[in-house]
Each structure stands twice: as C-alpha cells, then as structure tokens.
Amino acid sequence: MPTAIDIIRKPRMMMLNNVKDLSTEQLNYVPKGFNNNIIWNLAHIISAAEGICYARAGLPVNVADKFYSPYRPDTKPQAFVDTADIAAIKELFLSTLDKLEADLEKGIFTTYPTWTTRYGLDLTSIDDAVAFLPFHEGLHCGYMMALKRVVLQEV
C-alpha cells in the first residue's frame, strides 16, 4: 500500500514531467482569464506544503523566502522567474517532499494547532495536514494542465 508521501510524490513527478519541455517564457506566461502561470503553481505547491506542514506546526520552513512568501495563498506572479530559479523550483518540488518524509519519520511535528482550511476542513494533526496535500495539489495540477493547453496555443 502506498504511503501518504508516495500519494503526493507520484503526481508531483507527473507534474514535472508534464512541464519539462516548456520554455522559460511558456512557464512564466499568464494567459488572459488566468491569475497566474505554470511556474507560480509549481512554486505555490511547495510554499503551501511548507506552510501547511511546517509553519502551522510552529517550525521553520525549509526553503528560501523567495520560494515561500511570493507564492503564499492569495498571491500572483510578481516578476519573471528566470531559468536558474525555475531549476531551483523544480528541484525543490521533490526535495522538500523528501525532507517532509524524513521529518515525519523523525517525529519532529510534536504540536499542530487545529485550523480550518478555506475549504472548510478542520486539520488537527500533521497527519491531517499531509492527507490534505493531495487535494490541494490536485487543484493546482488541474490549473497547470489548463494553463499548458492555452500556453501551447499562444506562446
């Protein structure tokens, strides 16, 4: 039976594979009718998981602030993301998940205050938080798939 982290890892690998051939311009392109772009969605998934799992548990996030704060909920792309930062985001997309898996095994999440997601779900533990991630990431995977269809037609 797959672990909770495997249920997150496999779709993340699929998402990376789905965008691997897109150019820097295509990854940064915000089509008419959309609020963000593909690279923002990838970085947002990283930022959200760090916030949901680490920050909410009172622990420091594991990424530089430039990959955290600009991609928090209710943000939009603020600047063109260059090739070096795109490479870093793609690397963090899996390495942060490896870190989360190791930290879960170490048992570092000793407290987790209850909070209610914008979707009305009450998360009361790190296990709830990890279980919530596939739902959130699935939403953004769908956005990225829609964005890619438009990007390939327009850029």
pLDDT in tens, 39-85: 999 999 999 999 999 999 999 999 999 999 999 999 999 999 999 99
Confidence grade of residue 1 (pLDDT, cut at 50, 70, 90): low
Neighbours of 128 (CB within 10 A): 16
Beta bridge partners of 2: none
Q: pTM score, two decimals?
A: 0.96
* Measured distance CA(101)–CA(56) in Å, rounded: 17
Q: Which tokens in the block code for residue 38? A: 């593909």
Q: Decide which of 1.20.120.450, 3.30.420.40, 3.75.10.20, 3.40.50.300 is the CATH code for 4-154.
A: 1.20.120.450
pLDDT in tens, 7-50: 999 999 999 999 999 999 999 999 999 999 999 999 999 999 99
Residue corresponding to tokens 């699935």: 138
Count of alpha carbons within 13 angstroms of residue 152, beta-carbon side: 10
